[in-house]
Structure 1
Amino acid sequence: MTRVPRPRKEHLLPATLLLAGAALAVWINLPVTARMFGGSARRVQALPALGAFHAGQRVLVLSPHPDDETLCCAGMIQRARAQGAQVWITWVTAGDGFEFDAALTQGVLRPGATNMRALGATRAAEARRAAQVLGVPADHTFVLGYPDRGLARLATSYYARPYTAPRTAASAVYVAGALTPGAPYTGEALEADLNRVLDRVQPDLVFAPAPQDFHTDHRTVAALAMRLMAQRRQENRLRYWVVHGGVEWPVPKGLHGELPLTVPPRARALPWERADLSDAEVDRKLQAVNTYRTQTRIMGRFMRAFVRRNELLSPGTPDLDPVPESAVP
């Protein structure tokens, strides 16, 4: 019997590389969305659509920092108003805890308390302009002015005694136009202000951060919203969103208005609804994002990554423990 010679290893290597190159060429020519999202994009498309708002409905957006309301909900805010609902926005902090932001925007090497308070005033002004872009009237907005990166302290160790924010050296609300000027930085005062807002607005829906959100301020606002609404026996009016959803989410960074916003890894277990946005709503959302000039100079690629063809809102009760940081890819 004639033995067929086996190919030598040095002959296999070029063939293997050739096949790998051909496969890579095919992969490169696939649509970008298919390569980057695959099943994630299909999962978003399979989510139930967010129901319509209705005339006379009262919607309150609880935003831990100036810009969160735009990143999570700018499209839904526009949609609610177009369908006859009234929308209110509450910013819990003035976003005065980001030292690098103050250093860059104010041209100082080591920003002090005065610089950080100036940053808080600037960000509060940006928030009001963003609300105006989204069509929310000034008398439907509230700035509470509690310390950025300090809300968890207020909810625990400083519930009854004033907390001094290390970056602004403030122990009371200093932002001009705040709901309660001079209110002490305590958990009691924060809860009182949130209850004032709820009493004034009497919301049918409250859009709040989910407790799975990575940022501690967001998780604290989530817990407060759940407790205060439960005290009113209105926890079924809560709807949840996420901004800090896991390492690198949302991807890709930068402006990709034609792509879907995928489910955040830290909150993948929540039931989600999809709010599809029109081209006009996407464009207006981008305008609102760009209003936050102090932020976009540093985090523009992250912020504009939320300008997508949909937004996500969860109607479920997110009573699961937050996903451990180590479990997020």
Structure 2
Amino acid sequence: MTIDWSQERVLVYSPHPDDETLGCGGLMSKAKKAGAEVFVQFLTVGDTADQSPRGFSTAQERNAEIKAVADHFRWDDWHMALPGDKYHLRLDAVPRVDLAQVIERESPLSLERLRPTVVIAPHRTSYNQDHQAVAEAVHTALRPSNTALRHHPRLALAYEEAADQWRLDAVCPPNLVVELSEQEMRDKLRGMELYGSQTHEHPHTRSELTLRSLAVLRGMQAGVALGEGYHVLRCLA
């Protein structure tokens, strides 16, 4: 399967700031260099307890990080749908119909308004409740229907994160690998570095070595040096 990224309008769903870079930072770099449009729909952010010396990061800090990452990847636009502690790490308490409506038509980056050709979302097997809620809502929003009435992206993918892999019910390896150049790998690592409140030294699921190691593994499985793995949810040839 060969994708001409120069012809694509890519919409990435990121439950929190950094998920989009962890899951598809390399693809975003590749697509933008080819001439694609790339948009990121964040779902939520709030004050977060973490393992930093202070023990927390604020929503204000994380929004500043988004702006730096957006400039780095040269996103065409991004939007935060449901900011604040009412929603952060609590998206599983939001009715799926409400999340799906944000994705389908209410957001400035909704499927209806943006009409993307490629949609990329988290995988539903993530241990994180927000990731699961977003994955299921995107799945609902992309349900089969009459394309004359509702927009259908030509390609729908689910991205992976290293933290998802330890589940006993984790799915089989990805069935699509996007080959990455060394520069695209470096772009991904730099993007994650810009999320300073979320990066950690190895061993950690968000360390530089973890991201590179997963890229080496997925690349090896496809016979190339580096890659990002995805599960194909829909592909219209």
- TM-score of the superposed pair, with normalisation by structure 2: 0.76
- Structure 2 CA distance for partners of 1:209 and 1:200, relative to 1, 3 Å: same
Task: Say yes or no: does 1:86 pair with 2:37.
Answer: yes
- Secondary structure of 1:213's counterpart equals coil
Alignment of 1:1-329 (within 5 A): 51-94=2-45, 96=46, 98-100=48-50, 104=52, 107=54, 119-137=58-76, 140-146=77-83, 147-155=87-95, 187=99, 190=102, 193-194=106-107, 197-230=110-143, 232=150, 234=152, 237-243=155-161, 244-247=163-166, 266-268=170-172, 272-297=175-200, 301-303=204-206, 304=208, 305-307=210-212, 308=215, 309-316=226-233
Please give the per-residue CA displacement for 1:138-158, whole angstroms capped at 9, x wherever unaligned. xx11122342211110126xx
Structure holding more strand per residue: 2
**CA–CA distance in structure 2, aligned partners of residues 89 and 210 of structure 1:** 16
- Secondary structure of 1:281's counterpart equals helix
**CA–CA distance in structure 1, aligned partners of residues 132 and 202 of structure 2:** 21
1:71 to partner: Cα distance:
0.6
8 Å CA contact retained: 2:32, 2:73? no
Structure holding more helix per residue: 1
- Structure 2 CA distance for partners of 1:284 and 1:265, relative to 1, 3 Å: farther
> How many residues in Structure 1 have an aligned counterpart in Structure 2?
210
**CA–CA distance in structure 1, aligned partners of residues 228 and 39 of structure 2:** 18
- Structure 2 CA distance for partners of 1:265 and 1:97, relative to 1, 3 Å: farther
- Secondary structure of 1:90's counterpart equals strand
Please give the per-residue CA displacement for 1:300-320, whole angstroms capped at 9, x wherever unaligned. 832121233211111136xxx
- Structure 2 CA distance for partners of 1:216 and 1:228, relative to 1, 3 Å: same
**CA–CA distance in structure 2, aligned partners of residues 195 and 225 of structure 1:** 16
8 Å CA contact retained: 2:179, 2:228? yes
**CA–CA distance in structure 2, aligned partners of residues 151 and 315 of structure 1:** 24
- Structure 2 CA distance for partners of 1:278 and 1:187, relative to 1, 3 Å: closer
- Structure 2 CA distance for partners of 1:210 and 1:279, relative to 1, 3 Å: same
Structure 1: 5+ residue runs without aligned partners? 1-49, 160-185, 249-263, 318-329
1:282 to partner: Cα distance:
1.1
CA RMSD in angstroms, aligned pairs only: 2.9
- Which residue of structure 1 lines up, in the alignment, with residue 221 of structure 2? none
Q: Which residue type is aligned with residue 203 of structure 1?
A: P
- Secondary structure of 1:306's counterpart equals helix
Structure 2: 5+ residue runs without aligned partners? 216-225
Percent identical residues? 22
**CA–CA distance in structure 2, aligned partners of residues 300 and 148 of structure 1:** 26
8 Å CA contact retained: 1:152, 1:216? yes
**CA–CA distance in structure 1, aligned partners of residues 151 and 35 of structure 2:** 26
Q: Which residue type is aligned with residue 4 of structure 2?
A: F
- Structure 2 CA distance for partners of 1:199 and 1:316, relative to 1, 3 Å: closer
- TM-score of the superposed pair, with normalisation by structure 1: 0.56
- Structure 2 CA distance for partners of 1:237 and 1:52, relative to 1, 3 Å: closer
1:265 to partner: Cα distance:
6.9
8 Å CA contact retained: 2:15, 2:43? yes
- Larger RCO (alpha carbons 8 Å, 6+ apart): 2
8 Å CA contact retained: 2:115, 2:151? no
**CA–CA distance in structure 2, aligned partners of residues 70 and 155 of structure 1:** 27
Please give the per-residue CA displacement for 1:241-275, whole angstroms capped at 9, x wherever unaligned. 12232329xxxxxxxxxxxxxxx97121x651111
**CA–CA distance in structure 2, aligned partners of residues 290 and 205 of structure 1:** 26
**CA–CA distance in structure 2, aligned partners of residues 125 and 234 of structure 1:** 33
